[in-house]
Every structure is written in C-alpha cells, then in structure tokens.
Amino acid sequence: MNRFKGKIVLVTGGSRNTGLSIVKKFCDEGARVFMCGSTPESTAKGAEILASWGCANIRSIPCDISDLAQVNHLFDVIEKEAGQLDILVNNAAHQGIGKPFLEMSTDYVMEVLGVNVRGGFQVTQQAVRRFFLRQETRGVVVFLSSNTAMRAIRNRTAYCASKGAINSMVRSIALDLGPLGIRVNACAPGYIYTERWDSLSETTKQRRRLNCPLRHEATGMDIANVVAFLASDDSGNMTGEIVTCDAGCSCQHMPEDVDF
C-alpha cells in the first residue's frame, strides 16, 4: 500500500521502540517523516537505526515536547523544510515506571504529566494552529494512549493518570476540531515487545503471554498498523475514538490461570 504518498508526517518519540516502527510504516507507505526524540543523542541514534532499515525520507530533529520553545523550533523546521504537515502522531511518552504511590512525589507526577499531557497538548495545538487550519486538506492526529487508562497497573499512578487524561483530551479535541474537518483518535496498546523485554527472564515473558487471550504481545509494527489506519482515509468517518490493540487483555475479567 502507498496510502501516504506526498504526505508530511510528524512522529514524536520516533527514536526508540514503537516510535521507530511507526516512522518506518509511514516511510514504507510513501510519506516524508519528521521525527524527534528528547535529546540530540537519542534522536541521532534513532535516525541511524531507521537508515539501517532503509528508511530514506526521514528528517530527525531533537525536541523535548514538554518545552514549548523546543516545540516551536520543531515546527519552524517543518515549516521551512516541508511547508506543510498532514499527520501528527503523538507517540512520545514518559513511562513513569517503578514508583509506588506512597513513594511518588508530586514533582514526579508533574514530570510525567509534563511529557504525556502537556507535551501532547502543545504539540497538537501548534500542529493545528500552524498547519492544519491553514491547509485545504486538513490534518489528522493520532495519539498513543494505553489500555492502562481503563484498567490500571501497579506502581504507575502518574502514567495511568496521564493516559486517562489523553483519552479525555482526544475526545474533547475531536469535538472542537470535528466541524473544522480535523480528526483526532488514539490507539491504546497493551503489552508491546520493546527493548525493555530483553532484560526479562523467559519465565516472565511466558507469564505475560499467558495473560493475553491471543497469547502474544504486540510488535511495534502491530501498533504502527493501527496508527496508520487511524491516520489514513480508511478511518475517514472516525473521530474521538480510542482503539484498543492489546491481544484481548482488556476484554477479560481475569487471566486464565485464576479463572475458576
């Protein structure tokens, strides 16, 4: 398929794991892709990996999305080099891993919300103001949420709260921008295989897989396929939707081994 030929796409958090797959997917389907990681080093490393995968039409620009000045700079570069933006994928996230509620400081909560909520908000607002509203062909926004917005996981209060806020933000931005012809949706993954899985024992990996009705976690490309669907005309009548992609985890009340 070549659904994104001639399209300009921005993927935040394109420097690692799922973001790399999302960038590759758009690149494979003909788009020119701008991507950012949070630092020059991580962004350059991501660009190197993408080049080694044969992704040619990519421009990498470091940008900490929690910092409005850096977000403005990112859009200045896109404006100067491409003059348009058609698709925004808000993939960047602070994972907020490993802090039990009683040990979580307010500053840490604000740090996680600063990337996931403030970052997603300001990148989207700039994309809409600076590009989508000025173009005849209006833009599309896809957020990466998480199934943890609906069903919590332990020691991740800030992260779960941020993804819940993203779901609400997706619905309310969709209402405000729908009449202007701009669609806003989210993909909510469950387990995705990332480099963080490499340090897990085989037993833990298998235990996680047994938790999934489909018996396997998503690959980055499984998620990229859903993101591409939401960004394409194939989902042209959808807005304000949260599309779960989690191997069936969210439809079960409890894992099979305790279900008796």
Where along the sequence are the contacts to ligand NAP (CB under 6 A)?
Answer: 12-13, 15-19, 36-39, 42, 63-66, 91-95, 115, 119, 144, 146, 189, 191-192, 194
Q: For residue 244, give the 3-state DSSP assignment.
A: strand
For residues 35 and 8, give the distance between their C-alpha atoms in angstroms, rounded to a whole number.
Answer: 11
Total residues belonging to the chain: 260
Kindly list the distances between the CA atom of residue 94 and the CA atoms of 31, 132, 169, in Å, as whole numbers in the listed order: 27, 26, 17
The residue among 82 and 221 lying less far from ligand NAP, judged by its C-beta, is 221
Strands of the sheet with 242-245, listed across from one edge = 58-60, 32-36, 8-12, 87-90, 140-144, 183-189, 242-245
**Shortest spacing between CB 221 and ligand NAP, in angstroms:** 12
Query: Which residue minimizes CB distance to ligand NAP?
Result: 13
Of 63 and 140, the one with the shorter C-beta distance to ligand NAP is: 63
Question: What's the sign of the alpha-carbon dihedral 133, 143, 14, 125?
Answer: positive
Least distance in angstroms from the C-beta of 178 to ligand NAP:
23
Q: Please, which residue, 1 or 153, has the CB nearer to ligand NAP?
A: 153
What residue type is 222 in one-letter code?
D
Q: Is the CB of 37 or the CB of 139 nearer to ligand NAP?
A: 37
User: Which CB, 28 or 193, lies closer to ligand NAP?
Assistant: 193
Residue with smaller CB distance to ligand NAP, 138 or 193: 193
Nearest to 12 by CA among 174, 131, 169, 143: 143
| In the complex, minimum distance from the CB of residue 248 to ligand NAP, in angstroms, rounded to a whole number | 15
Q: How far is the CB of 101 from ligand NAP (least distance, A)?
A: 19
* DSSP H or E run through 35: strand 32-36
Nearer to ligand NAP by C-beta: 38 or 239?
38
Q: How far is the CB of 204 from ligand NAP (least distance, A)?
A: 14
Residue 115 beta carbon to ligand NAP: minimum distance, rounded to whole angstroms: 4
How far is residue 65 from each of residues 20, 125, 176, 206, 211, measured CA to CA in Å?
A: 17, 12, 22, 35, 34
The Cα-based distances of 114 to 17, 117, 185, 199, 232 in angstroms read 21, 6, 21, 28, 29
Q: How far is the CB of 56 from ligand NAP (least distance, A)?
A: 20
What distance lies between CA 89 and its chain's CA centroid?
6
